[in-house]
């Protein structure tokens, strides 16, 4: 069965995705770059990037053997909250924009792609097997999103769409059918701009053998979300009031100046700048259990709050 490409794209747009594109579900040349990045220790202690899953990322068919076509989608999460961390309240901590909402984006995007599948089943008049990936599967999602025409990968390592910026969640739908056409990657439009590099307070964006890349061991997002240990005293001084993630490299990006706002209720800014107060286990669960912030657990969240309080006193 040959699927019409526009039918697939229209199904994604109809179910609330602002970006959509198609690419073959085959190995990507960026896999070698990923393995090199891992081998040089730039993934820090994120074992889900460095263990056996690093090799699985080579081919989408390793996670769905029937895969022929990949539908890549992007869902906007930019909302009308504080402009950046400097606009947080006097006693507030900064939470990364992607975690401001009241629901985990994994659930929202998965539900959206399930609706795409349901729409396609009706149009095709038959069931079919598929695989949905929302950043937890071992897949080079930014590389495939670029290949599917959703944007280019900027110097800050984020996917950037020319008219809409970089405030997007990415997800993929692996399908067992060929399609009439695929999209093409857009040109890189970062040019000579280095604003993200210059603005990073910990110099986490470094020049590698194949271009700019992220040194996770210097990244505020790594230390406030992923790390199980504490950063050095010198590094913590650069964290400011960040208690979950960091958006600085996107805040300063010129392509985000006119980024549209998401109307998705789940992403509206309920948790943008919480008070710099430690929370007990129950209070933490009550506020964050259905949001991305739950990833840090109360212990990690309170650790980050203490760092922010110490920085405020200096």
Spans of all domains in the chain: 5-313
Q: What is the pLDDT of residue 308?
A: 96
Question: pLDDT-based confidence at 53, cuts 50/70/90?
Answer: confident
Q: What is the pLDDT of residue 51?
A: 82
Q: What is the pTM of this model?
A: 0.95
What are the tens digits of pLDDT across the range 207-261? 999 899 999 999 999 999 999 999 999 999 999 999 999 999 999 999 999 999 9
Q: What is the pLDDT of residue 55?
A: 82
Question: pLDDT-based confidence at 190, cuts 50/70/90?
Answer: very high
Rounded mean pLDDT of 166-191? 98
In whole angstroms, how far apart are CA 126 and each of 68, 120, 121?
Answer: 18, 9, 6
Question: pLDDT-based confidence at 89, cuts 50/70/90?
Answer: low
Q: What is the pLDDT of residue 50?
A: 80
**Residues catalogued as catalytic:** 135
What are the tens digits of pLDDT across the range 134-160? 998 899 999 999 999 999 999 999 999
d(CA 81, CA 83): 6
> Would you say residue 310 has pLDDT above 80?
yes
- What residues contact residue 202 under an 8 Å CB cut-off, 6+ apart? 218, 219, 220, 235, 238
Mean pLDDT value across the chain? 95
- What residues contact residue 16 under an 8 Å CB cut-off, 6+ apart? 75, 112, 264
């Amino acid at each position: 069965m040959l699927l019409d490409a526009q039918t697939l794209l229209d199904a994604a747009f109809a179910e609330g995705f602002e970006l959509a594109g198609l690419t073959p579900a085959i190995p990507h040349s960026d896999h070698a770059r990923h393995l090199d990045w891992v081998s040089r220790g730039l993934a820090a202690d994120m074992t889900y990037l460095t263990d056996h899953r690093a090799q699985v990322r080579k081919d989408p068919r390793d996670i769905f053997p029937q895969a022929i076509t990949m539908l890549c989608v992007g869902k906007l999460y930019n909302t009308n909250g504080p402009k950046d961390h400097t606009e947080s309240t006097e006693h507030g901590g900064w939470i990364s924009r992607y975690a401001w909402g009241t629901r985990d984006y994994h659930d929202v995007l998965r539900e959206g792609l399930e609706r795409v599948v349901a729409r396609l089943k009706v149009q095709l008049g038959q069931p079919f097997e598929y695989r949905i990936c929302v950043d937890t599967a071992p897949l080079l999602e930014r590389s495939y999103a670029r290949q599917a025409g959703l944007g280019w990968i900027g110097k800050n390592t984020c996917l950037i769409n020319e008219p809409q910026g970089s405030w997007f969640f990415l997800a993929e739908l692996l399908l067992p059918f060929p399609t009439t056409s695929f999209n093409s990657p857009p040109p890189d439009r970062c040019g000579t701009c280095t604003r993200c590099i210059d603005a990073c307070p910990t110099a986490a964006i470094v020049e590698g053998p194949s271009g700019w890349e992220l040194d996770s061991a210097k990244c505020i997002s790594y230390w406030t979300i992923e790390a199980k240990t504490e950063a050095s005293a010198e590094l913590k001084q650069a964290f400011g009031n960040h208690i979950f993630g960091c958006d600085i490299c996107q805040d300063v990006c010129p392509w985000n100046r006119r980024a549209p706002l998401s109307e998705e209720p789940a992403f509206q800014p309920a948790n943008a700048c919480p008070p710099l107060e430690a929370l007990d286990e129950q209070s933490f669960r009550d506020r964050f259990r259905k949001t991305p912030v739950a990833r840090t657990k109360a212990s990690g969240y309170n650790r980050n709050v203490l760092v922010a309080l110490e920085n405020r006193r200096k």
